[in-house]
Amino acid sequence: MRMDQFTVRTPDQLPALLRAFRKQAGLTQAEVALRLGVTQQTYSALERNADTVGFDRLLKLLNLLGVQLSLGTPAPTPPTPPAPGDQGTIAGEPPQW
């Protein structure tokens, strides 16, 4: 499965994403651990508890996996018109009393 973009909203999403990106890169935990200079057990714990990893280590890991980190703001949500009979207002119209 190719993962081009994924929106992360909570820290508990990180373990599954890191595992998926590692597998997409064709790497085992042992290979990633070797490249990071840690034991396989340490990397396994890091992957399971990714929400506790320091940002610098997370960036190093993402770079190693070939993953780019991009930050941005979400696209604005269009306003929802009021339901029939709703006493709300639509922009530019006076309230209906």
Count of helices and strands (H, E) across the chain: 4, 0
Quote the DSSP letter at residue 63. H
CB 1 within 8 A of CB 20: yes
Domain segments of the chain as ranges? 13-64
This prediction's pTM:
0.68
**Residue 93 φ then ψ, to 5°:** -105, 145
pLDDT per residue, tens digit, the chain (97 aa), is: 456 777 888 888 899 999 999 999 999 999 999 999 999 999 999 999 988 889 999 999 999 999 988 888 888 888 877 777 666 555 555 555 5
CATH class of 13-64: mainly alpha
